[in-house]
Structure 1
């Protein structure tokens, strides 16, 4: 690469640097990495529960298969969402020119898959749990697998890509919700008649 090519501004290359969006995306990427880790733990838990249950002759293979399949799909979806948002982060930080519009459809489809698996996986795990007792390890493996599948779906799988950037991670959304409630409570304490009198006095003084 020549010095002339290195001096080309990112804007001339089609890169749209957005520092504010990049900061929110960095927090979301951390959340997605944690979701991938939780999905891995959920997959291991469901596999351990299935391995224990399938040793019994009267155990159906349907629910362990569905639980494992849902865990694998949730893990793949979380990894896919992480990849999509990382590609967008390269654009927003000015590292690489990325076509953001091509990331929308795969991420939206992955969100639907995560929603279905987020319901199917825990349901199948609960069916496995009903076939065990509290004294068996498979009971707790299945319970842990169901919880991990739900958490991985909520914190990773459903975060479809938005070209405008992420709305924020869960703590930011909670803070924004508290701020909206606080603003609404302050607005409810305002007396409209008192405000009308103040406006009339200001009009008379003018």
Structure 2
């Protein structure tokens, strides 16, 4: 969505705390995060089902159950990351809508680090599912549930876990552009002031020859 596509009532008045344009742009992202959280929750249920139905009394039972448990841990971690992202998004949306006095800066750093952590968790889940399916037998019910859990986990990671929150708003919105311009202008003024202060002789300094 470009800036000129915003409606007049979506552009906040000068000094207003709410940012309807940002809220309108980020509503689809909030919904995507909700879908990802639901997929991660379903992944946990599928991983539990895989452990319950894992074939017993086989030589590969111990290692297979171990891989299934590891897959369950990965699914729970992705679900936790998705829940964190969802909470951060709700906090940010409340701020952009003018319902909160403070921004999402409390959860924003955790949101970014959580999205980074979701990648190795997803890779670990991939290896766990493959090893668990091989131990259970590719045609076993547990193997099918592990594969389903992996697909749902990856869906939750893509749709929810990596959707971290930017407190300044998404790129392409009027508030984000204004904040970037103000930050650049502030940095330019500080640099100019530092140069003037450096070149201005202090009282008592000997004149330069």
- On the 8 A contact 1:87/1:98 being kept in 2, the answer is no
Pick the aligned partner of 1:127 from 128, 131, 135.
131
| CA–CA separation in structure 1 for the residues paired with 2:66 and 2:127 | 12
What residue is the counterpart of 1:21 in the other structure? Answer: 22
Q: Which moved more, 1:121-130 or 1:141-150?
A: 121-130
Aligned-residue Cα RMSD (Å) equals 2.4
Counterparts in 2 of 1:22-171, with a 5 A limit? Answer: 22-53=23-54, 55-58=56-59, 59=61, 60=63, 61-166=65-170
SS at match of 1:100: coil
TM-score, normalisation: structure 1: 0.69
- Mark the runs of 5 or more structure 2 residues left unpaired by the alignment: 1-11, 173-209
User: When you count helix as a share of all residues, which structure comes out higher?
Assistant: 1
Instruction: Give 3-state SS (helix, strand or coil) of 1:95's partner.
Output: coil
Between the aligned partners of 1:123 and 1:167, the Cα distance in structure 2 is: 35
What displacement does 1:98 show? 2.1
1:112 Cα deviation after fit: 2.2
Q: How far off its partner does 1:83 sit?
A: 0.3
Q: Is the 8 A contact 1:40 1:75 kept in 2?
A: yes
Cα offsets for 1:100-120 (capped at 9, x unmatched): 332221111211221121111
Instruction: Give the match's secondary structure for 1:102.
Output: coil
Partner-residue secondary structure (3-state), 2:107: helix
TM-score, normalised relative to structure 2? 0.68
Partner of 1:149, secondary structure, is helix
Question: Equivalents in 1 of 2:28, 2:36: separation in Å?
Answer: 13
Secondary structure (helix, strand or coil) at the match of 1:53 reads coil
TM superposition shift of 1:166:
4.0
Instruction: Summarize the Cα distance change of 1:121–1:56 in structure 2 as closer, same or farther, 3 Å threshold.
Output: farther
Question: 1:183 matched to which residue of 2?
Answer: none
Q: Deviations over 1:71-91 (max 9, x none)?
A: 001011101100001001111
Structure 1, unpaired ranges of 5+: 1-9, 169-206
Larger mean CA deviation between 146-155 and 23-32 belongs to 23-32
Contact 2:54 2:141 in 1 (8 A): no
Q: Distance in 2 between matches of 1:11 and 1:96?
A: 17
